[in-house]
Amino acid sequence: MMDESRRGFIGKAFGAVAAVGGVASLIAMKKTWDPLPSVMSAGFTTVDVSGLEANKLEIVVWRGKPIFILKYSADMAPTDGRSVKVGENYYSVMVGLCTHLGCIPAYRCDKQDFKCACHGGEFSADGVQTFGPPPKPLEIPPYKIDGTTLVLGEEGPEYKAMMAKAGGV
Amino acid sequence: MKELKILAVLAVLVGITYYGIEPYAHHEMHPPVAPADFTYNGKQEVALYTKTMDEKLVAATENVAVQTAELAKATDAKAKEAITKKLEKAKSEVATLPETAKAEAQRRTDFWKTANHTAALEGNVTNGKVLVDANCIACHGIDAAGMPMAISNADAAASYGVVPPDLSSAATIYDAKYLAAFIASPVDAMHIQEKYSPESGKTFPMPSYNWMQPQEIADVVAYLKSLSVKKLEGKEAHKATFEAACGRCHSMQYAKFESTTPADALKTYMGTTPPDLSQYIKSRGEHYLHDFINDPQALLAGTAMPRVGLTEVAQHDVIAYMEEIGDPKKDERISLGIYTLAFTLVFAILGYLWKRKIWSEVH
Amino acid sequence: MAEFKQADSMYEWFDQRLGIDKFLKVMMTEYWIPKNINFLWAMGVLLTVMFTILLVSGLFLLMYYKPDINMAFDSVNYTIMQEVAYGWLFRHIHAVGASVVFLIIYIHMFTGIYYGSYKKGREMIWISGMLLFVLFSAEGFSGYMLPWGQMSYWAAYVITEIFGGIPLIGGDLVVWIRGNFYVSDSTLTRFFMLHVLLIPLAILGTIVLHFYALRFPHVNNLDGEFFDYDAEAKKYLDGKKVESKVVPFWPVFLSKDFFVLGFFLLFFFYLTFFHFNFAMDPVNFDKADGLKTPAHIYPEWYFLWSYEVLRGFFFEIAGISGKSLGLIAFAVAQAVFFLMPWLDRSPMVKPANQRPYFKYWFWFLMVDLIVLTIYGKLPPTGTNAWVGFASSITFLSLFIALPFITKAEGKKVGGK
């Protein structure tokens, strides 16, 4: 009897230790799939926005994503909580990927809006979805204003204020 | 027989699906366009221009309605002012567009009429040489006349934006009517009026020689025609035509050929890096290339690529070269394909006979 | 240990050690297949052959392919297609084979549904088969990324983005799958690993399971008839080959399969040499560019029906966004075929045309799948979007209705 239960206990303990080892290796495997630290920390893109032409879309790359920078012309009204003021001018600074399935919308300067060629989504110049499948406005990347340059990837006070406002709504 | 009926049902289902996802879907995604036109009489271009302007007018008219509605809705003064500005702009567009469009269409028609007329004139080679020496060789080399480019490609690209072409083969690969049109006004001949519009502030590196008399232009063309270029055949001709017609902007990596204009200079000049053409025969296909090279704007409005004005023969050479580099195993594929199908047919027939023999025992 | 006597021949030497005689009997000459079948029963062997062809052609592609975003495109389109002797042949075979294998899988699958071959003890055959379908899908998807063309890139982008719709973990999950914020070198190398080793291993294992699952319930036949295999086998062995309802796997069953295979290969090689654009999309001969979306993005044809179910829901319903609804419908579409044995509640094992209600359901499903496939490729604008929505709803409704339809059918036929 003693022997029986003892063997049962040792068997279970053996199984438990093996299971712990299995879970530990699964964790290691999951971590191996994680993006590398260099990838995670990569890239603070700096753009000087002072020389941009109004109503003409400028695209820069940040962490492999296209970033739209659109300087407003005189007839374009800034949107509170979405338009970025650098110096005297207003800009839209947005991740240029459709919030539906990640295609790059094209800017139509005559209509002053964005149109996604994949599934027909449309966005206004400040990046708010106006038609089609996109579920939310174009994302605003973290930025810091430094004189006339934008540093993408760093969270400046203007960005934080903007996010707080967006969160409050 | 029942199995054949099942096979027929299967074939119908697969056939419908195939038709839907291939021929039909491609037709829907790429509606047919006007075919390549080697007449260089401007008719197709003017028709396209008129159509585009009509579309713009419709859009502008709609915009007026939209802005009027917006204005009625707007409440605060600042917004009203912004909308009024837009409305005014849209209204003036609606008012002026038809007149401008009509005038421009007429101008283009006349331009091509003149070019056709010029090309029909008998040119004087001696006088042509005098004119070319005085007007062209400051920028262009003419290898065939013993006058190569005086400066390197990199320097030429730095001064002009793009390397000016050597004129030796100009009269062989470019259509005579196109050449006459080009000398008179490069931007109009190349169908890139939009890119070099007065509002753009850009000027094309080569000036218009519209001050020349049609007879003088005909003399220049006659002289270029008189240049004795070495007659090439087959693949050599394809390669030479490609390099002369496309090679200043496009590379062909799989042929180890790099554009004569350096890539960074090109990016500034064209606004985008012209694509490497190694696999274009596969990605675009012969049919598309045939229409596209003939008049890029007709298929891809706003593209940086100009109309190059190749003769039908020269264009055929270019596409043949793209196939030789992009799909060099085509002949091997076809011949091996036929052998393989013949072999498989024998295999299938023997398989059938064997099956019949084996199953005769169990049926 | 048994005494080994001196072997008289090489065959005997091996037979003593490996039991070849017995093995061949079990696997080939005394593995019994019903006689009452048609050419649709050859699809299993066709698939085995196709998998072998894909494996072998893949080996040769692997010799020159470079899984690196800077080299992948040219290693395929220049080195393999232009320099390596017959490299182009192996690539064409691999690409066209990957497409055609799905055609045969679908025929195999719908043959199973038509003849009710997933019922009454055959559930594990069906489930292991569906598992193979999922594994082949993963294999096809991961392989499509490797040439690193525009369609490779953007199809991978759009499909991995789908996981972003999962609540809470979605965003992180997408980055985790890709190994980066976007489809990049790390994505390519991990998909390469999946494509050339992990998934093929899993497929091989599952094929063994699928074949093994056939042994106890036996292969179905044209009329869904159940009979005593041992008795029929005995008849056959006793020489009453014509009366017996079974035939041995080798040579009788396979001779029919090889005949079907011959004509199938004729079709396959025609596609490989002369009509390959459907499997090698022209757009994919442009090198991948993450900053330039192609005008139309679509997956390979065999994913179109489920892709259309995904994007068929393009507007909000009852406060749930179109994206979430599409994702739910997509997940259901992936899983629902696994449940066929339990959704079909009629006890009848008969071809669909002999089942009073099921036949309508079957053909309705076929039409709906074809509509989904075609509209999955067309641009989702105007009426196309609504056709997509209607056919997606129809697809889901068909499976919701199936238990009720088959239950009613069971009542009508009275348990036959």
Q: Tell which residue, B116, B114, B115, B146, has the closest CA to residue B129.
A: B146
What confidence score (pLDDT) does residue A120 get?
61
Greater pLDDT, B174 or A76: B174
Q: CB distance B254–C262 less than 8 Å?
A: no
Q: CB distance C270–B355 less than 8 Å?
A: no
Residue C29 neighbours by CB under 8 Å, 6+ apart: C248, C249, C250
The percentage of chain C sitting over the pLDDT mark of 90, rounded to a whole number, equals: 83
Report CA-CA distances (Å) from C342 to B186, C5, C118, C362.
Answer: 73, 54, 9, 16
Which residues in chain A touch residue B59, judged by CB atoms under 8 angstroms apart?
110
What confidence score (pLDDT) does residue A169 get?
38
**Nearest residue, CB atoms, B29 vs list C82, C296, C301:** C296
Q: Which residues of chain B have pLDDT under 70?
A: 78, 199-200, 302
> Hey, what are B116's tokens?
């056709």
- Dihedral angle over CA of C176, C177, C179, C183, nearest 10: -130
Greater pLDDT, C161 or C237: C237
Which residues in chain B touch residue A76, judged by CB atoms under 8 angstroms apart?
82
Q: Which fold has domain A45-168?
A: Rieske Iron-sulfur Protein (2.102.10)
Q: Tell which residue, A93, A157, A99, has the closest CA to residue A130.
A: A99
In the stretch 224-253 of chain B, residues with CB closer than 8 A to chain C read 253
Average pLDDT, integer, range C134-159: 94
Whether pLDDT at A16 is above 50: yes
Residue B317 CB neighbour total at 10 angstroms: 24
Residue C10 neighbours by CB under 8 Å, 6+ apart: none
pLDDT in tens, C215-252: 999 999 999 999 999 999 999 999 999 999 999 999 99
Return the sign of the alpha-carbon dihedral for residues C105, C110, C116, C120: positive
Residue C330 CB neighbour total at 10 angstroms: 21
The verdict on A29 touching C (C-beta cutoff 8 Å) is no
Report CA-CA distances (Å) from C254 to B246, B345, B351.
Answer: 57, 18, 10
Chain B: closest CA distance from residue C230 (Å)? 17
Chain C: closest CA distance from residue B67 (Å)? 25
pLDDT in tens, C244-297: 999 999 999 999 999 999 999 999 999 999 999 999 999 999 999 887 778 788
> Hey, what are A16's tokens?
């438990």
- Residue C246's SS3 state is strand
Q: Which chains touch C (3 or more CB pairs under 8 A)?
A: A, B
N- to C-terminal Cα distance for chain B? 16
Chain A: closest CA distance from residue C298 (Å)? 9
Asked if C160 contacts C174 with a C-beta cutoff of 8 angstroms, the reply is yes
Residue B153 neighbours by CB under 8 Å, 6+ apart: B163, B260, B261, B262
Q: What's the half-sphere exposure (Cβ side, CA atoms, 13 Å) at C218?
A: 23
What confidence score (pLDDT) does residue C60 get?
97
Please tell me the distance from the alpha carbon of residue B269 to that of residue B272, in angstroms, as a whole number.
8
Which residues in chain C touch residue A33, judged by CB atoms under 8 angstroms apart?
176-177, 179, 190
Whether pLDDT at A108 is above 80: no
The band of C316, judged by pLDDT with boundaries at 50, 70 and 90, is confident
Residue B123 CB neighbour total at 10 angstroms: 22
In the stretch 106-165 of chain A, residues with CB closer than 8 A to chain C read 117-120, 132-133, 135
| Amino acid code (one letter) for C108 | H
Whether pLDDT at A168 is above 60: no
The verdict on C161 touching A (C-beta cutoff 8 Å) is yes
What confidence score (pLDDT) does residue C415 get?
56
Burial-class residue B181 by CB neighbours within 10 Å (0-12, 13-18, 19+). Answer: buried
Beta-bridge partners for A71:
A91
Q: Tell which residue, C37, C26, C5, C47, has the closest CA to residue C261.
A: C47
Cβ contacts below 8 Å, chain A against chain B, sum to 9
Computed over every residue of chain C, the mean pLDDT equals: 93
What confidence score (pLDDT) does residue C2 get?
63
Please tell me the distance from the alpha carbon of residue B332 to that of residue C89, in angstroms, as a whole number.
10
Burial-class residue C87 by CB neighbours within 10 Å (0-12, 13-18, 19+). Answer: buried
Please tell me the distance from the alpha carbon of residue B148 to that of residue A86, in angstroms, as a whole number.
52
- Domain spans of chain A? 2-34, 45-168
Chain B: closest CA distance from residue A74 (Å)? 8
Q: CB distance A104–C292 less than 8 Å?
A: yes
Q: Tell which residue, B305, B315, B297, B304, has the closest CA to residue B45.
A: B297
Please tell me the distance from the alpha carbon of residue C269 to that of residue C294, in angstroms, as a whole number.
30
By C-alpha distance, the chain B residue nearest C255 is: B355
Classify domain C30-297 by CATH architecture. Answer: Up-down Bundle (1.20)
- Domain spans of chain B? 1-31, 41-109, 336-363
Q: Which chains touch A (3 or more CB pairs under 8 A)?
A: B, C
By C-alpha distance, the chain A residue nearest B89 is: A75
Please tell me the distance from the alpha carbon of residue B18 to that of residue B12, in angstroms, as a whole number.
10
Distance of CA C403 to the CA centre of its chain: 25
Element housing C33 (H / E): strand C32-34
* A3-7, C210-214, C238-242: segment of lowest average pLDDT: A3-7
Whether pLDDT at A2 is above 60: no
DSSP output for C41-91: GGHHHHHHHHHHHHHHHHHHHHTT---STTTHHHIIIIIIIIISTTHHHHH
Residue given tokens 């499997």 in the structure block:
C279
pLDDT in tens, C350-404: 999 999 999 999 999 999 999 999 999 998 878 999 999 999 999 999 999 999 9
Asked if A135 contacts C323 with a C-beta cutoff of 8 angstroms, the reply is yes
Asked if A96 contacts A67 with a C-beta cutoff of 8 angstroms, the reply is yes
Chain C: closest CA distance from residue A146 (Å)? 25
Average pLDDT, integer, range A78-105: 83
Q: CB distance C176–A35 less than 8 Å?
A: yes
The verdict on C377 touching A (C-beta cutoff 8 Å) is no
Helix axes C150-162, C170-178, angle to 10 degrees: 150
Q: Which residues of A touch B (CB under 8 A)?
A: 74-77, 110
The CA angle C345-C350-C354, to the nearest 5 degrees, is: 105
For chain B, the farthest-separated pair of C-alpha atoms sits apart, in whole angstroms, at: 97
Q: Tell which residue, C260, C252, C210, C355, has the closest CA to residue C36.
A: C252
By C-alpha distance, the chain A residue nearest C183 is: A64
Residues present in chain B in total: 363
Residues present in chain A in total: 169
Residues present in chain C in total: 416
**Nearest residue, CB atoms, B25 vs list C241, C273, C377:** C377
DSSP output for A56-111: -EEEEEETTEEEEEEE--TTPPP-TTTEEEETTEEEEEEE-S-TTT---PEEETTT
pLDDT in tens, C3-40: 778 888 999 999 999 999 999 999 999 999 999 999 99
Chain A: closest CA distance from residue B178 (Å)? 33
Residue C228 neighbours by CB under 8 Å, 6+ apart: none
Q: Are strands A143-146 and A149-152 parallel, antiparallel or unpaired?
A: antiparallel
Q: CB distance C40–B28 less than 8 Å?
A: no
Burial-class residue C216 by CB neighbours within 10 Å (0-12, 13-18, 19+). Answer: exposed
Backbone angles phi, psi at A82, to 5 degrees: -135, -35
Computed over every residue of chain A, the mean pLDDT equals: 83
Cβ contacts below 8 Å, chain B against chain C, sum to 128
Cis check for the bond before B306: say yes or no (omega within 30 of 0): no
In the stretch 64-103 of chain B, residues with CB closer than 8 A to chain A read 78-79, 82, 85-86
- Residue A26's SS3 state is helix
Average pLDDT, integer, range A130-145: 84
Please tell me the distance from the alpha carbon of residue B351 to that of residue B349, in angstroms, as a whole number.
5
Q: Report ipTM (2 d.p.).
A: 0.93
Q: CB distance C175–A35 less than 8 Å?
A: yes
Q: Tell which residue, C195, C211, C101, C214, has the closest CA to residue C148.
A: C195
- Domain spans of chain C? 30-297, 304-416
- Under the phi-then-psi rule, with left for phi > 0, alpha for psi from -120 to 50, and beta for the rest, what region is B251? beta
pLDDT in tens, B140-163: 999 988 888 888 999 999 989 999
Average pLDDT, integer, range A75-102: 83
Q: What number of H helices and E strands is found in chain C?
A: 17, 2
Asked if A120 contacts A97 with a C-beta cutoff of 8 angstroms, the reply is no
Beta-bridge partners for C178:
none
Q: CB distance A110–B59 less than 8 Å?
A: yes
* C193-197, C208-212, C314-318: segment of lowest average pLDDT: C314-318
